[in-house]
Structure 1
Amino acid sequence: MAVSRVRDGMCGHVQLNNPPINGIDRAVRRGLLEAVDWAEAEGLERVILSGAGRAFAAGVDAREFDLAPEPPHLSDVLDRIERSHVPWIAAIHGQALGGGAEIALACRYRIARPDATLGLPDVTLGMVPGAGGTQRLPRLSGIEVALDLIATGRVVSGVEAKRIGLVDALGDDPVAAAATLRAARLGLAVPVGKLNPGDAPPEVFEAARRTAARRMRGQVAPLRAIELIARSCTATLAQGLEAERATVLELRASDQGRALRHAFFAERSARAPGWLRAGPAPLRQVAVVGGGILAAGLAYALLNAGLGVTLLEADTEGVVRARANGEKFIEADLARGRIGAVDAASRRAGFSVSADYADAAGADLAIEAVGESMEERRQVFARLQSVLRPDAVLASTTARPDLNLIAAGLADPARLLGLHFCAAAPAPAPVAKLVEIIRGAASSDRTLATGFALAAALGKTPVLAGVCDGFIGNRILARCDDEADALLIEGSTPWDIDEAMVDFGYAMGPYERQDLAGLDIAHANRRRRDAGRDPARRCNPISDRMVAEGRLGRKTAVGWYRYPGGGGKVLDPLIEDLIREEAYFAKVARREFSADQIRRRLLLAMINEASEILAEGIAERAADIDLVTLLATGFPRWRGGLMHYADTLGAKAILAGIEDQAKAAGLDWRPSRVIEECAAKGLRFSDWRR
């Protein structure tokens, strides 16, 4: 049964039983409604509501997201629970999220484990709470708490929930605590819906709108949630619930709602592909080879995952530096309160640094992070295979397409894979949200499975990628940058291009991104691609000239923009002179481009490149490209990812746009066969299979 019930004297025990997370589907709603009738008919003193397994209830069942709502609706069920003359007590462990938190709000009393997690994260799915969350939480915890939690989707621990008044009590065994709660205390509890509505001055709501605009730029749901919370100040509960329900139905059918749900499900389904049947190698001890803060950051991420780490450095000086870098990470987390003294001691105990590779002989996995020198990397792997067990897995973090060359130098190339940690802005491994797991020509299933197991241990979203220059994310960005450079010489400016892409939803445009990473990095990548570049393709000289003149971006305080002291960026009129000069030398007649023309051209270029990535098998499915673009390239989440966005445009419209560009630009705009096939067969990109 989705909802079980047992009588114990004058107490009724009702349990949600819809594994794995007690998703609230129609059967659960119907079971709860029947439980209300049962408790009243039995004349019980109280009902204790709990969840089976690892959660109280983690929201609406995912399978019902895009289905038409069917009665009984959760809001009606919760109205019955709240109005019942038999008081219900929510005994919360694990997750109580979304509809699960709304169930708790409808109960008369709430007891949670300290490590439980509670929240109303509906706005992250492009929706608002739909069963009274925007109306009951302000009445229970106040307007400011409701704005903080609902308009941002923030989730809190049981301890914080008690502090802010979201739960009444804490207990290691909430069911036992609920059973022993004094009847007199329970009798004093007032149904949340009968509490006086909260109130707050206008500036509190305005501050919440500014926060939502900054944190969730371009998204509609947070602002609509704020409107509903404001309405709770003056509306009756029934009026507020009616407005909330209407808003839910509207947002559920919106493009943003569909896009954000797509992103959510893409992340939930990110795992090893079904054809990968082998189990991973055991992961207890990991060796990391490399110097500097990046290798230390990777080592610290592994320590945080509970793994033992040996960091291998080149010499004694490097060992001293690496120990200091590791200590910086530990001290920083201590200062922020992320770890305690016991955790810090555990990390120190699990971390060793050495210049002797033999000290890492017991490692189950060794990760090379030494930089971009091919010869240096080959030497590292030669030394590793001389000391490690034959079954130990080897990995390289290189962003270059050299994995197969490295593998060729190994006695067993099947034991090698790539691990490319990616973030939307330059960031160390602990911060990166995504890891591209690079499949070499010889990588075994066991080796790849180990990569996916490592990603899970680190809490990273994994995406399988094949070997090519830039893999998935960087290859798409490189194509974007190439087309942006073409727009520059044809008539645009860096700031016009950046502004057009920021208006689309990116946090920054391609030129501000290059300034942040360093123009010398982009320059090195272009030089590496020169050998494989079609001679007929355009190669823009402007970016190379920037590097030659020492304009490397933020690191030199001048790049595409100037960066004066005190932060911020300012436009540099000298850049326009440089662009016009190069256009004159290239005999290009410059013309103006609108923001829509800029956006269309860059997005079509990226979609075409992504389609080629699918065609070549570098990515297995369109959803994988969506994940990479969302988590590693800054594509706006509320648009669902690059290929989801392409599906909203339609393959026929995309093909027509690319063919228009091809008439003017030639080889840079040959349409991918994936686009041609989808257009011819009426397929969505999400349905295309290689």
Structure 2
Amino acid sequence: MPSPSSTTLLESVTYSISDGIAIAAINNPPMNAISEAVRRSLLSVLEQARSDNAELLLIYGEGKTFIAGADISEFGKPQDFPQLPDVIAAVENADFPVLVAMHGNALGGGLELAMAAHYRCAVPDTNLGLPEVNLGLLPGSGGTQRLPRLVGAEKALDMILGGKPLSATIALDYGLLDALIDGALPDAALEYARELVSARAPIKRTRDRPRPTAATAMFDEARAKHRQHRKHLLAPNYIIDLIEIATHFDVEEGQRLERERFLECRASRGSQSLRHLFFAERSVAKPKTISPEVTARDINHVAVIGAGTMGGGIAMCFATAGYQVTLVEVSEDNLKRGLNIISGNYDKGVKRGIYSRADADAAFNRVHGTTQMTDIAKADLVIEATFESMEVKSNVFQKLDATCKPGAIMATNTSYLDINEIAQMTSRPQDVVGAHFFSPAHIMKLLEVVRAQHTAPDVVKTLMQVAKRLGKIPVTVGVCYGFVGNRMLQKYARQAQLLLIEGATPAQIDAAIKDWGMAMGPLSVADLAGLDISYFSRRNQGIAPGSLPECSVPDELVDRQRLGRKTGSGFYQYDPDTGVQQEDPSVTALIEEHSKKWGISRRDISADEITDRLILALINEGAKLLEEGIAERASDIDVVYVNGYGFPRWRGGPMFYAETYGLANAVNRMTQFQQQTGDDFWQPASILGKAAEASCERLDNIAQCD
């Protein structure tokens, strides 16, 4: 690169000019978000380039990426001039050619800026997209108007509604790029810039391109497909409207309407919830109790004990991520069965387009089966996934202690059991940790990393890093029965059972909570999981069959061998051919008998009461987990419930929902339930009462509200 004739350091952009080509390098690490400082600097760059009589302005990004999007931390705060649409208009209106060169990610506002430039180039591994819909938003700076003019209405609709980026190669084919460039920036881009200058390339403004054409039926089909979102998220349907507007009006009119819709979406509850989760899923990877200076252990060879449903799924996670995996079973038959299931799951993944045949075969070949515990002696990480029994797991960990090399991490996949007790079966409790995968393990994103009393900080950090490589979302939690997710689920399920004997039917309960937004109702979930699972869990806790109102009905269903879907009947009846769920009058009669048994007069129960009791049960138990230090942040609980339990993302998780519901309102409603039912569970957690009294809006900010 020739020496620049002048260099100017602005707030977040470095400006220079070389041989008549002005060069603006955006430097706002780590993601070059297009913050207020970047926006101001870009306007200054345009003025300076004009003053310098530049023949062309090249804009590129320093570091690992171009512009990965807007600085969403600015959302909701007063914003001074310039807004992004002002910068984009200035770029498009420039009276000299503007070339944007992209690498890494060109997303959201970054791509909108690029589309306003007169020429666009990128290195081949660049990702380009408008992912705003994933945050309940739509492009707010001309994206819905310029993209259709560059790639056509149909492709623009797919890109913006899908929210997934394109590769630079596809973007070139679509017409979104003018050229691919090889080599490092800015030198590779400067070569292309010189070609443009030499050819006296004209200014090509995207707004002057012809309006795209599209059949009305395409937009009608898109609206029908996204009709389900209308109650919860504004953005999908607005996006469809705005792209259709692009086929009828000029960019100026379309962008005016787009900005109005963007601001409406940004203020909506659904978008606020999704943005909350965006930050929550990033902060959860940084446990408060682990210093940044802690160094993770090296993990190369992984062993999994148990080739059942969970063990096989866990082995798949590691093999797919490139780890060598030793899978241990007690017998050759069990091992063969487990390996066949893994092979079958990879075959299904290939048919669904999840894996290529070559990748699936390579991953499966990384799994090595054995019946000899001594074959795991060199493993860096061992995950036990055996039967949920303290006796069984204690025996396994005694063997692991005798077999594993010094420094090996020994993890248990228990869902409920006391990991402190399991750790005491070894001579090195500092190396023992919980790794609670969710079923099916090779699909579900959530991983609860359970820190026991003596778990070393580097063990926790290692599992967090490993989880990232697996494509999981890890959440650190403390030890208690059920940890965070299942402990809260138990209280949620308990309310469903109490509502049954107080007057509701399974269908009423499930319908109410599904209408509210949960993926499945609690009784349908129980049937899917198998009623015997919770039945034996209660026996392990020393709860006698039928001894409590909340387990009276499900215990009798199990005694009648109605275990759920796997036996064709549970709370519901299931068609043997189609599996279609149907209400069963005999279950209704059984529930009524149990109401009489407990002296409960059945009553009509509204959908509002059903949803409040189920969701407020989650909230109250979640608040207790915060008080006890089992969860570090309220937002950590939200991440658990959204990614592991079907809680709707557009509601932000149970603890965020508590804040939108109003903490004082939540406390009042719990108090009402306590008076109505006499159930001590409804005594509000002290942190809720404290926050409500202090008029604190966020549970994580309770200390500042004192």
TM-score range, shorter chain: over 0.9
Question: How far apart are the structure 1 equivalents of 2:350 and 2:521?
Answer: 35
Post-superposition Cα deviations, 1:244-274, rounded to whole Å, max 9, x if no partner, equal 1112222222222222211111111112323
Which of the residues 690, 699, 704 maps onto 1:685?
A: 699
- The separation in 2 between residues aligned to 1:631 and 1:344, in whole angstroms, is 25
Q: How many residues are matched?
A: 685
Give the SS at the match of 1:71. coil
Q: Does 1:405 pair with 2:421?
A: yes
Residue 663, structure 1, aligned to residue 679, structure 2: no
Of residues 551, 559, 565, the one that matches 1:548 is: 559
8 Å Cα contact 2:295-2:461 kept in structure 1: yes
Cα distance in 2 for residues equivalent to 1:242 and 1:489: 55
Cα distance in 2 for residues equivalent to 1:530 and 1:172: 68
Q: For 1:186 and 1:567, how far apart are their aligned partners in 2?
A: 68
Q: Are 1:322 and 1:353, in contact at CA under 8 Å, matched by a contact in 2?
A: no
Letter in structure 2 aligned against 1:218: H
**1:85 aligned to 86, 91, 95, which one?**
95
User: Residues of 2 paired with 1:371 and 1:149: CA distance?
Assistant: 45
User: Against the structure 1 CA distance between its residues 514 and 217, is the aligned structure 2 distance closer, same or farther, given a 3 Å change threshold?
Assistant: farther
1:546-572 C-alpha deviation (Å, 9 max, x unpaired) = 222222222223332333223543333
CA separation in 2, counterparts of 1:533 and 1:20?
Answer: 57
1:489 — aligned with what?
Answer: 501
For residue 376 of structure 1, what is the aligned residue in structure 2?
A: 392
Shift of 1:624: 0.9
In the aligned structure 1, how far is the partner of 2:443 from the partner of 2:515?
26
Aligned 8 A contact 2:288 2:632 in 1:
no
Instruction: Give yes or no for contact 1:625–1:642 (8 Å, CA) kept in 2.
Output: yes
* Aligned-partner SS, 1:688: helix
Quick one: which amino acid aligns to residue 394 of structure 1?
A: M
Match of 1:115 in 2: 125
Q: CA deviation at 1:98?
A: 0.9
**Structure 1 residues not aligned, in runs of 5+:** none
Shift of 1:437: 0.9
1:221 matched residue in structure 2: 235
Q: Does 1:594 align with 2:606?
A: yes
TM-score (norm 1): 0.93
Please name the residue that 1:414 is paired with. Answer: 430
Q: Which residue of 1 aligns with 2:590?
A: 578
1:152/1:222 contact within 8 Å kept: no
- In structure 2, the CA distance between the partners of 1:340 and 1:44, relative to structure 1 (3 Å rule), is farther
> Structure 1 CA distance, aligned partners of 2:42 and 2:85?
12
**Alignment correspondent of 2:372:** 356
Code of the aligned partner of 1:301: C
Given the alignment of the two structures, is residue 618 of structure 1 paired with residue 630 of structure 2, yes or no? yes
Q: TM-score, normalised by structure 2?
A: 0.91
User: What displacement does 1:300 show?
Assistant: 2.0
Aligned 8 A contact 1:101 1:118 in 2: yes
2:55 alignment counterpart: 45
Residue in structure 2 matched with residue 387 of structure 1 by the alignment? 403
In the alignment, residue 267 of structure 1 is paired with which amino acid? E
Residues 1:675 and 2:688 are matched in the alignment: yes
**In structure 1, C-alpha distance between the alignment counterparts of 2:199 and 2:241, rounded to whole Å:** 35
CA offsets 1:508-567 (integer angstroms, 9 cap, x no match): 1111222222222232333334559998x6434111222222222222233323332235
Distance 2:206 2:645 in 1: 44
Which amino acid in 2 is paired with 1:205? Answer: F
SS at match of 1:467: coil
Aligned 8 A contact 1:109 1:186 in 2: no
1:500 Cα deviation from its structure 2 partner: 1.2
Q: Deviations over 1:101-138 (max 9, x none)?
A: 11121122222333322211112222211111111111
Q: Name the structure 2 match of 1:137.
A: 147
Percent identity among equivalent residues? 38
| Counterparts of 1:49 and 1:614, CA distance in 2 | 47
The answer (yes or no) to whether the contact 1:553–1:560 under 8 Å persists in 2 is yes
Q: For residues 35 and 378 of structure 2, what CA distance do their matches in structure 1 show?
A: 49
Distance 1:525 1:101, change over 3 A: farther
Moved more, 20-29 or 466-475: 466-475
Whether contact under 8 Å (1:16, 1:22) holds in the other structure is yes
Deviates more, 1:23-32 or 1:307-316: 307-316
RMSD: 2.5
Matched, 1:320 2:371: no
CA offsets, 1:185-214, max 9 Å, x none?
Answer: 883773221112223223222222233345
Contact 2:452 2:479 in 1 (8 A): yes
Contact 2:671 2:682 in 1 (8 A): yes
Contact 2:142 2:255 in 1 (8 A): yes
Shift of 1:504: 1.3
The residue correspondences of 1:370-519 to structure 2 (distance < 5 A) are 370-422=386-438, 427-519=439-531
Distance 1:140 1:273, change over 3 A: same
Aligned to 2:33: 23
- TM-superposed CA distance for 1:410, in Å, is 0.8
Distance 2:273 2:690 in 1: 24
Report the equivalent of 2:283.
Answer: 269
Name the CA shift for 1:377/1:651 in 2 (closer, same or farther; >3 Å): same
CA shift for structure 1 position 77: 0.9
**CA offsets 1:69-95 (integer angstroms, 9 cap, x no match):** 221111111112122232222222111
Q: Give 4+ residue runs of structure 1 displaced > 6 Å after superposition.
A: 532-535
Instruction: Indicate the residue corresponding to 1:196 in structure 2.
Output: 210
Residue 560 of structure 1 pairs with residue 576 of structure 2: no
Distance 1:540 1:352, change over 3 A: closer
| 2: CA distance, partners of 1:529 / 1:434 | 26
Please give the alpha-carbon distance, in whole angstroms, between the structure 1 residues aligned to 2:535 and 2:100.
59
Q: Supply the distance in 2 between the matched residues of 1:570 and 1:293 (Cα, whole angstroms).
A: 28
Q: 1:527 maps to what in 2? A: 539
Matched residue, 2:6: none
Partner of 2:414: helix, strand, or coil?
Answer: coil
